[in-house]
Structure formats: C-alpha cells, structure tokens
Amino acid sequence: MSLHRVTFWSELLEKVLIADDIKNKRDDAQLELETLLKSKLLSNSIGIYPFGSRIMGVGQETSDLDVYVELDNSFYEYSESPTMEVLKRQRILSNAFNSESSWKRIATYGGRCPIVTVKHTTGLQCDISCLNGLTYRQNKLVMYLFEIQPIARYMVIYLRGWIQSIGLQTSFRSHILILMVIFFLQLHNHLPGIDGLQKNLEPTVGPWVTTFNQLKLSDFKMSKLEVDEDSTRSVLKQFFQFYANFNFAKYAICPYLGRYVERVSFDRHMPQRYTQLRCRDNKFTRFTTAIQDFIFLDFNKGWQIKGMHVRALQYKCRKELE
C-alpha cells in the first residue's frame, strides 16, 4: 500500500468498508461466545464487553476479538499485579471451555493481565480477560477521538496495512500506531491533549482517570479535516515527514499532554497522582522509545521497540516521501 499508487484511495476505502462491517456486525460466532459464557459462568452479575481493533473500527478480517468479562461487578478493580481473586476468575473462564462447543481453548496466559485464548471453528480467535476493564474504557476514548476527527481512523487503517508491508508489524502494533497518529494530530492542532478532555475529572480506578468530557473540537478552536483522497494523502505525507525526523531519543510520544515532552524531564510534566505512584525505575528514559499510554500514565507502550526498528521505520517513512 503506497501513497503513490493510483489505487491508493480505492484500496483504502475498501479497507475502511471492511473495518466498518466488522465493527457493526455481531456475527454468529460472537453471539455464540456470549451465550456460552453466560451459561457457563456461575455469577450473580456478568457483563461481556468486546473491545480492540475490531470494535474501534480499524480491524481487518484476520484481527482477533478481545473481550472483557466482568464478574460480580468487578469492573473498577485495580491492582499492579493479578490478585488471587483475579486468578480464580481466570480459571473459571478457562474451565468454561472444557465442554463441547464451537469455541475451543487453545492457551492460557499469566502476567499482569491474565488471558484465556480461544478459537472458533470459523478461525476467529478471541482473547478473554477479567482484568481488562480499563483497556475497554481506553478504547471508548479512542473511538471518541475517531468520531470527532474521522481522518484519524482512516490514517490508522492505512498505516496498519503499510506497517505490515514493510515488515515492522510486530514492533509497531496497532495500539502503537493509534498513539502515534493521535500524538501527530495533537501536535498539528487537530486533536486536543487527553488532559484537556479529562480536565477537572477525578480518578476512577486507583490513580487513573478513565472517563472524559465529550467536548467538541470547536471548544479547542479546532475543526475537522476533510476526509477525501487529496486531504488524506496530504496528511499521511505529513505523518511520514514528522516521524522520519522525530527525535525518539530526546522526546516521548505523549498523547496525554499532546505536546513535546523531553524524556529526561518527563516526570515533572505529569500530574501529582502519577508522580506519587509511578514505578521506581523510570521506563521513559531507559528504553529506546517512550510511547505513553494515556490512561496508565506510567506505562511505556514502546518498551519493546529496538533501535533497529526505529531506524527502519524512519528509513521507510523517508522512502514514502520520494
């Protein structure tokens, strides 16, 4: 997928239509999964919340489905590591797939956010967690940003295909691309900082604010960009120009503030609730890249990206401008 191809716009529109169809259509496999979970999980209260790229409207036909399962009103639970209760819920989720059904358990993962991975006979794969309520809320905020500035979603859909074509999809995954697009648009005065959308709101989970004010772009003296072939191609070129020259070593990608922040002084720019509870080792200076999650403010989502991946990205960005 290249900006220079005459089929650029038609190919992108086709991908957008696919993403729209995936987002708006609850297929039989998803309905069957919800029915199975509700019948197998012995809980007084159960909530099933799909999220991820398929739900945000940037999914592909091969995209996995992510599902957060809330048991017994546990939505706002917060902990730095899984509690015994969380691990117990994971076992309950895992055991729900012991019997015969079209969904089969293929893996169970531990870590900070335990996941049960299942697969449908149609090939659809699903990651299920009982500790992903905050990620679900984060996705709601991303969807709102896509709503007020629609070109952002088009950019992410294009960049997902582009990053796969250059072989960097394992380093710059879709959630990384979303943050990079949001930050780029913020710096060019097309989207507000997340802190502006959360002004005067109190933390809802631990130190983190998960809600936001549904303000208009006009409240920030901004306006929607046109979503057509010329405008989209132009903005994508600006994106490539920006990241081809971005100083990853000096600056953090910080969509929470939506402005340049030097990595060495990162802590000083964060709210007090962050500096009081952040991890002891500074994850925003000791890794090659610093890409801040805008809900979990102490989480560097770029910690796995290597220097060679950044150099390859910037080289490919420059090639797109030739």
Averaged pLDDT score across all residues of the chain: 89
Q: Do residues 300 and 290 touch, judged by C-beta distance below 8 A?
A: yes
- Which residue, 69, 175, 151, is CA-closest to 115? 69
Tens of pLDDT, residue by residue over 53-67, are 999 999 998 899 999
Domains of the chain listed by start with CATH number: 21-131 (3.30.460.10), 140-320 (1.10.1410.10)
Q: Which of 291, 265, 296 is nearest to 181 (CA)?
A: 291
Q: What's the N-to-C CA distance of the chain in angstroms?
A: 15
Beta strands 125-129; 65-71: pairing state: parallel
H-helix or E-strand spanning residue 194 = helix 194-197
In terms of Cα–Cα distance, which of 76, 49, 81, 54 is closest to 65? 54
pLDDT (tens digit, 9 = 90+) per residue, 100-157?
A: 678 999 887 766 678 889 999 989 999 988 876 788 889 999 999 999 999 999 999 9
Cα(6)–Cα(149) distance, rounded to whole angstroms?
A: 25
pLDDT confidence band for 4 (50 / 70 / 90) = confident
**Longest CA–CA separation in the chain, Å:** 60
* Residue 117 bridge partners (DSSP): 107, 127
- What residues does 47 pair with on adjacent strands? 70
The C-alpha atoms of residue 290 and residue 273 are separated, in whole angstroms, by 20
Integer-rounded Cα radius of gyration of the chain: 20
Q: Which of 55, 76, 203, 56 is nearest to 131 (CA)?
A: 76
Residues 197-250: tens digit of each pLDDT: 999 999 887 788 999 999 999 999 999 999 999 999 999 999 999 999 999 999
Q: What is the DSSP letter of 224?
A: P
Residue position matching structure tokens 């999980």 = 41
Q: Which amino acid is at 165?
A: S
Averaged pLDDT for residues 294-311: 93
